[in-house]
Amino acid sequence: MTQPRRRRVLGLAVAGAAAAALGLAACSSTPPVDENVRTDLIDVNYKAADALVAGLQLDRKQPLLVATFVNLEVLTESSRLGRLFSELVGGRLAQRGYAVKELKLRENLFMKASQGALLLSREVQDISQTQAAQAVIVGTYTSSGKMLYLSVKLVVPEGNVVLAAHDYAMPIDANIKGLLK
């Protein structure tokens, strides 16, 4: 074999080994999050709101209350994500013609600094009666590191009866990570 041909064969062998090593590294059991792909948070929360009221016979003139979504691990804490998601769900219900009371304008709610309008179970009945609300929308979220899991429920305050529930999940991307901080 001539010297130039030997170099070419050796070069191809080295390139092949490097490609194989890169290929093995890419076969990780935990695929990296594609920073260029983002979940449409508006769309998924609008769909959750639509699913929540689908098939229910609610009086569109009697108010609904929407509490800030809370961290499932610590129910008295929320985040920018919890506040945003409750805003999106409440906004979608208003777009659909439901009377949604704006809780941030109420003085008698439990407002925790940087947390939002948290409706504690002992206060739900009192607040809903004061607001003449037919139901309260509550939500929780938790993360597994790679996925965000959410549960939203439409609850009748008298007796805390769940009329409807919708659960959904989405991969945690850089946008969601930022909202969870």
pLDDT digits (tens, 9 = 90+) for 120-155: 455 566 677 777 789 999 999 999 989 999 999 999
Q: Is-contact 137 91, C-beta < 8 A?
A: no
3-state secondary structure of 67: coil
pLDDT digits (tens, 9 = 90+) for 33-90: 555 668 999 999 999 999 999 999 999 999 999 988 999 998 888 899 999 999 999 9
What pLDDT score does 128 carry? 73
What pLDDT score does 146 carry? 92
Give the integer Cα–Cα distance in Å for 60 and 96: 9
The mean-pLDDT minimum among 4-8, 49-53, 89-93, 164-168 falls in 4-8
Q: Once rounded to an integer, what is the mean pLDDT over residues 7-24?
A: 41
Nearest to 119 by CA among 162, 132, 92, 108: 108
Which string of DSSP letters, residue by residue, matches the chain? --HHHHHHHHHHHHHHHHHHHHHHHHT-SSPPP-TT----HHHHHHHHHHHHHTT----TTS-EEEPPPEETTBTT---HHHHHHHHHHHHHHHHTT--EE-GGG-SSS-EETTTEE---HHHHHHHHHHTT-SEEEEEEEEE-SSEEEEEEEEEETTTTEEEEEEEEEEE--HHHHHHH-
Please tell me which of 69-73, 92-96, 114-118 the model is most confident about, judged by mean pLDDT: 92-96
